[in-house]
Each structure stands twice: as structure tokens, then as C-alpha cells.
Structure 1
Amino acid sequence: MPEANLSLKVLPIVPEDQLYPLVDQVIKMIHDSGLNYMVSPNDTTIEGDLVTLLDLVKKAQELCIAAGAPRVISMITIDYKPDGVSIDEKICSNHS
């Protein structure tokens, strides 16, 4: 079981018509990582080990800069539990 969930909101400082295409590139990079993830309207939540997840944040920043954003603001939320925590257990409606 993954030890962490990381929710990432990436806001590259680019013209509005470039914003969603660039965010889509970040989501594709997350998809290509092979990790379990869930996209919502405001952020993307990813499961994995903490080191890998933090590396994805770094890659997201670098991807945006390489695509021409002069600045990137990212907000992250981390839920870490050494014994494991999954997206499914947090959104399951059958909590006891």
C-alpha cells in the first residue's frame, strides 16, 4: 500500500490560453509515472512513496518552466502514514 497521498495544484504563470494545455502536460507526466492518481477540478491527487511523490512535484515545476512559464506556483497537501494510506480508503462511503 502506498505510504502517502499528495495533492498537487500547479499554477504556471502563463497567458490564460496556455494555462490548461500546460496543466494537461503535467497531468500526462503524472499519468506516465504509472502511479495511481485522481484528477479533480482544482488539483490532482497521487498515491505513492513520499520521495517519488516529491520528485513528481519537482518534475512538474521543471516541465512548466521548460514550456515557457517564467514562474510556477504550486500548492501541495500531503497525507503520510508509514503503514499506508490510499485514495480509495479516503473516498469510500463505507467507513466504519
Structure 2
Amino acid sequence: MKHQVHIAIQIVPITDKPHYPIIDKAIEVIDKSGVSYKVGAMETVMQGDYDVLMRVAKEAQQACLDAGADEVAVTMKVHARKNGIVTWDEKGIDRGSK
């Protein structure tokens, strides 16, 4: 895919430790990556180049493992177009993070 896409990612740490501090590590990775993103109650949606976003998703998963998760269960959704870009504006998304 050569166009801008949206990728939604939900990372659920599997561990006996508190989950939110581990999930926060994934969001830190996304924030530091410089990609545009929106944090929601159940998932984080990133906007950008498909390959870049997949790399960030992989790094976010690793951050959770490094932060103490024994395992992670990851759900991802991709919104892509054959001949165009996917944007926040068309979805009416004007709230959120970066």
C-alpha cells in the first residue's frame, strides 16, 4: 500500500500486573514515533504510511512485553484505499491526541 492509511490497534497485556501502565508504554512508543494518532477508550488509531505504521505497531507490542507483559493479545484494523488517502477530516475526527 502506497497511500496514507488508518490503522487501529488494541494491545491487551496478559499478565498479573496492572494493565494500564503497560498500555501507556505502547502509547508512548506511538507518540515518540511522530505519526498522527488518536487515543480512544478501546483502541488507538494511527494515520500515515502503511509500512511505517506497521513498524510502530510492532514496536508498541514489544514495549508492552518489555514493560512486564507475559504475552500480548493484539487486534488491528486497517482502512486503506486503492487510489487515494484516508484522512481524519473525512471521518469528522477532530478530537483527540496528536
TM-score, L = length of structure 1: 0.85
Gaps of 5+ in 2: 94-98
- Residue 69 of structure 2 is matched in structure 1 by 69
Q: Deviations over 1:32-56 (max 9, x none)?
A: 1111110110000000100011111
What is the RMSD of the two structures over their aligned residues, measured on CA atoms? 1.5
Q: CA deviation at 1:77?
A: 0.6
- Residue 39 of structure 1 is matched in structure 2 by 39
- Paired with 1:49 and 1:19, the residues of 2 have a C-alpha distance of 29
- Paired with 1:84 and 1:29, the residues of 2 have a C-alpha distance of 24
Amino acid at match of 1:10: I
Q: CA deviation at 1:91?
A: 2.3
* Large movers: runs of 4+ above 2 Å: none
TM-score, L = length of structure 2: 0.83
| Aligned counterparts, 1:82-93, within 5 A | 82-91=83-92
- Paired with 2:89 and 2:45, the residues of 1 have a C-alpha distance of 11
Q: Deviations over 1:55-85 (max 9, x none)?
A: 1111111111112211100100100124211
Q: Deviations over 1:17-45 (max 9, x none)?
A: 52001111111111111111101100000
- Residue 19 of structure 2 is matched in structure 1 by 19
SS at match of 2:84: coil
Q: In 1, are the aligned partners of 2:22 and 2:69 still within 8 Å (CA)? A: no
- Paired with 2:8 and 2:21, the residues of 1 have a C-alpha distance of 19
SS at match of 2:46: strand
- Residue 6 of structure 1 is matched in structure 2 by 7
